[in-house]
Amino acid sequence: MTSRARPLFIFSPKYVVDIGDHVFPTRKFGLAAALLKAEGEFVEPRPASREDLLLVHDPAWADKVLAGRMTLKDETLMEMPFTPEVSLAHRLQARGTLLAAEHALAAGVGLHVGGGSHHAFRGHAEGFCVLNDIALAVAAMLARGRIAKAAVVDLDVHQGNGTAAIFRDRPEVFTFSMHQESLYPFMKERSTLDVGLADKTGDEEYLAALERSLPRVFEHRPELVVYQAGVDCAEGDLLGGLALSEAGILERDRRVVESCRKAAAPLVVTLGGGYCSDVDKTARMHAETLRLAAGLAIISP
């Protein structure tokens, strides 16, 4: 009997950038990677090229990102400072999710210790998201003829507005977003399926809504699923208002992973949001999502 192959994680230390006293803790990526270091192999992506970016972004926006220079209006929409280091981090993560998609199609699952920038639109950044890595990965696989249909399962606490807008006129891509209805973005885009949840929704109600929704996604028969597995739905998250426990989040992840396995749909996992006051807790939840998707033992507290 041959031993089981070690999982492959996609990550770059350059995902971690100094953006000052900001609610978005980029060091969570490095902390999550450190928790997984002994569990598998790591591959570092190269930065996304201009050609990559043009799959889903306007030329003017791609050129701004590549130049590493933004206007004050751009940074205001982005809600974070923009520097050449931030530009590189987002280009690396964009290519990282594309690499995860390639690996998912080859091996069944692609594990990205980063990504999930679902608020980035074709021509501008929003909500800490510069480049829409989710859309780029899906668009690349479609353009190459690797797949004919795809789905995005976005379970971040905030609606995946950028992804919905990018794929609005692409019926071959099913976009599903389940989010807290009262939160940003206050003017929401229309996904293929949107499920808006009430404030303080807890495990039982959340999982019931997910169970009702996932069959709709798989009726589409996706040949690739990209999962935005934000953990900002956790109770006490600084930018969220739902009330999921860590066990509830893991059960959420389990249902997505099992649905993909039953449908024989290759799965890409991206991390998305997570803003607990304790960044180690956020990193631990992200690592547990990736462990579960990789079929590794869960190490919950």
Task: State the catalytic residues.
Answer: 119
Give the full edge-to-edge strand order of the sheet including 225-228: 41-43, 8-10, 109-112, 267-270, 225-228, 150-154, 173-180, 193-197
The answer to whether 132 and 166 are in contact (CB under 8 A) is yes
Tokens found for residue 134: 């989710």
Cα–Cα distance between 80 and 23 in angstroms, integer? 9
Cα–Cα distance between 270 and 291 in angstroms, integer? 12
The answer to whether 272 and 127 are in contact (CB under 8 A) is no
Cα–Cα distance between 82 and 100 in angstroms, integer? 26
Q: How far is CA 218 from the centre of its chain?
A: 19
Which residues contact residue 278 at a Cβ distance below 8 angstroms, ignoring those fewer than 6 apart?
none
Cα–Cα distance between 121 and 228 in angstroms, integer? 16
- Is there a cis peptide before residue 266, judged by omega within 30 degrees of 0? no
Q: What count of other Cβ atoms lies within 10 Å of the Cβ of residue 263?
A: 19
Partners of residue 228 on adjacent β-strands:
154, 270
Strands (E), the chain: 8-10, 41-43, 109-112, 150-154, 173-180, 193-197, 225-228, 267-270
